[in-house]
Amino acid sequence: MKLLNRYLTQEIVSSIMLIMVALLAMFSFFDLIQELESIGKGTYGLNKVLMFVLLSAPGHVYEVVPVAVLVGTMYALGQLSRHSELIILRVSGISIATIARSLLKVGLIFAVITFFVGEFVTPYSEKTAQRLRIQATDSVVAQDFRSGLWVKDGRSFVNVEEVMPDSELMNIHIYEFDDTFHLRTISDAKTGRFDGENWHLKDVQQTHFLDKTVKSEFFPQAQWQSLIRPELLNVLLVVPEKMSAWNLYFYIHHLSANKQKTSRHEIALWSKMVYPLASLVMVVLALPFGFLQQRSGGASAKIFAGIMLGIVYQVLNRVFVHLGLLNDWSPLMSAVVPTLLFLLAGLTMLFMAERR
């Protein structure tokens, strides 16, 4: 069995890696074509475009691993079936369940790779890529509204017109309310930098709304204590789906503490937990196609079928995320249903293949 496991692992892994490299090359080429339009803006030259594409690659690795596992496993099993090696295994008394256990070990390897890349590599590389692009094109961090970024901080609402790539805040407006939701103070600062504990503001103009009067003050410098941290602002550089589970958890806690909607980030967090398991599900789904190969279809047909199934899986994931947001479904259900459907389909096909 050790020899069999080693042989199957070698064949499956080599096919998966081949498919993964092909998919990564395709997505990186699309990224390159898209970024070529921005060449010439500021200092954004070809060398920085290539660096941006390279830094974006880990995000594509995270996305394509399940598809690569599905297509690679189907292709490898198809080749084994074509040379009658699967028939020899079955005649030797090795059941489909035994073969499945061997292949699941390969799926587990890629599940761990998916989790590691999604949790530790993609958030950092994606943030670095966006910072590189923003700095080179003389842009600012993406803004939620035309007036800039709005953040709720306790009883205050904070408006930041621009967030620079180094987390420096430009043109800050702080609206402070009392317990009865009456506006008491408006603070306008030109810039703000975080010193490790507090925000250091410059050129601060404060307007105090008292019971019957309005009082204005000017401070060249001021300290601002806030729950807002540069780590929270960094989420503007990375979409929730590419954030780490750790950052998602703390950002959800921040949004909840300020009574803000957390549905999208909760779904992204559960997806982070469930998505790596898709590699195991894809192995289960691909295994029956190896035995169908004995009777019908060629390798190209199986590769095409695998790509279509992979596309359907990715589309279902996106559809259920949006349906969950629109209908306020449970974040866990929105994240896990597509994977469960594919697992059910794979187990059903395995059962039918075993009955034959």
Summarised one tens digit per residue, pLDDT across range 310-349 is 889 989 998 998 898 888 899 999 999 999 999 998 888 8
Residue ranges per domain, the chain?
A: 2-137+264-355, 155-226
Least confidently predicted of 7-11, 91-95, 118-122? 91-95
pLDDT range class, residue 253, cuts 50, 70, 90: confident
CA-nearest of 188, 253, 256 to 224 is: 188
CA–CA separation, 32 and 126 (whole Å): 15
pLDDT digits (tens, 9 = 90+) for 11-31: 999 999 999 999 999 999 999
Q: Token pair for residue 284?
A: 């289960």
The pLDDT of 179-188, averaged and rounded, is: 90
The answer, yes or no, to whether residue 237 has pLDDT greater than 70, is no
Residue 142 has a pLDDT of 47
CA–CA separation, 248 and 270 (whole Å): 10
What does pTM read for this prediction? 0.74
The secondary element (H helix, E strand) that includes residue 54 is helix 46-82
CA–CA separation, 135 and 124 (whole Å): 16
pLDDT digits (tens, 9 = 90+) for 117-129: 998 999 889 888 8
DSSP single-letter state for residue 199: E
Residues 6+ apart with CB under 8 A from 229: 194
Q: At 206, phi and psi to the nearest 5?
A: -110, 135
The answer, yes or no, to whether residue 199 has pLDDT greater than 90, is yes
Contact criterion met (CB below 8 Å) for 114 and 65 = yes
